[in-house]
Structure 1
Amino acid sequence: MDFKNIHIGDLIKNRMESLQIKVSDLSADMGCTDKDMNSLLQAETVDSDLLLQFCKILEYDFFRIYTQHLILYAPSTPPSKVVNKTQLNIRKNIYTPEIIEFILELVRTEKKTKEEIITEYRIPKSTLHRWIKKYEK
């Protein structure tokens, strides 16, 4: 999955196909016409209320895709003043299995070097090496 360029209409279509749901059935559940549904499925973005409906009907968290995009491409910056120790662990365990698999796939296919991944996604070097050691068996 390409977390950088998200086309939500395509992702919704893929989920519909995997569940074998017809456009007419989904449009009836969403309370719109087939023509409107086809327009939504071709759209690169969808209103958050509509996306929430898709999540419920198709039983899939499409918002997670955007969260993963933020983790990879807009990592949080460290706070300027650390008030207490709990603030230091803000980013702990933020990497989902999907993100780990995405990063490891980049390494496996040699699309990016380890150094490029560390720099571009701001993943600590030790974390990347731990993933490779743990998941590449």
Structure 2
Amino acid sequence: MNFKDINIGLMLHKRALECEIEMSRLCKFFGCSEQDILDMYTVKSLDCEILLKWSRILEYDFFRIYTQNLILYSPPSAIITNDKESSQMPYFRKNIYTKEVINFILELIESGEKTKNQIIEEYNIPKTTLYKWIEKNRK
């Protein structure tokens, strides 16, 4: 799922239905009208503060959808920059994969959707890392 494929409004709506949260509760929580909530269900992206509120009320980390996407589709860390010390921003290593990302990659291989070589090239996952995941998955 690329950024262009993420439709956060649709995901919010699905999760709200799963949680069976009444519209009146959502309106009160957000301090808005029912139409405002329905409008949020139709947008492809939302302001971070609003998404954080949705994450709280629906008890789901919607930001993780974006961070996992970054992990999969960003260029390798070494190519980006070597001046991490000069940046004032926190540095996050790219090679920290969540269970969800690992499972997603393994499902692509098991389903035959992608080959091991395609995974290595497309997602910049080291060959040894991929084979460790496959071996652990077999146990």
Q: Return the TM-score normalized by structure 1.
A: 0.84
Alignment root-mean-square deviation, CA: 2.2
The aligned counterpart of 2:6 is 6
Query: Mind listing any 5+ residue stretches in structure 1 that lack a counterpart?
Result: 84-88
Q: Give the number of equivalent residue pairs.
A: 130
The aligned counterpart of 1:100 is 102
User: Which deviates more, 46-55 or 22-31?
Assistant: 22-31
Whether contact under 8 Å (1:23, 1:38) holds in the other structure is no
Summarize the Cα distance change of 1:111–1:44 in structure 2 as closer, same or farther, 3 Å threshold.
Answer: same
Matched, 1:51 2:38: no
Q: What is the aligned counterpart of 2:121 among 94, 119, 122?
A: 119
The aligned counterpart of 1:109 is 111
The aligned counterpart of 2:36 is 36
**In 2, Cα distance between the equivalents of 1:116 and 1:57?**
39
Summarize the Cα distance change of 1:82–1:46 in structure 2 as closer, same or farther, 3 Å threshold.
Answer: closer
Whether contact under 8 Å (2:71, 2:94) holds in the other structure is no
Letter in 1 for 2:69: H
Whether contact under 8 Å (2:8, 2:46) holds in the other structure is yes
Summarize the Cα distance change of 1:42–1:136 in structure 2 as closer, same or farther, 3 Å threshold.
Answer: farther
Task: Show CA shifts across 1:104-133 (max 9, x none).
Answer: 110111111111110000000111111111
Percent identity between the two aligned chains: 43
SS in structure 1 at match of 2:113: coil
SS in structure 2 at match of 1:38: helix
SS in structure 2 at match of 1:42: coil
Q: What is the aligned counterpart of 1:136 among 114, 119, 138?
A: 138
The aligned counterpart of 1:16 is 16
User: Which deviates more, 30-39 or 19-28?
Assistant: 19-28
Letter in 2 for 1:35: Q
The aligned counterpart of 2:89 is none
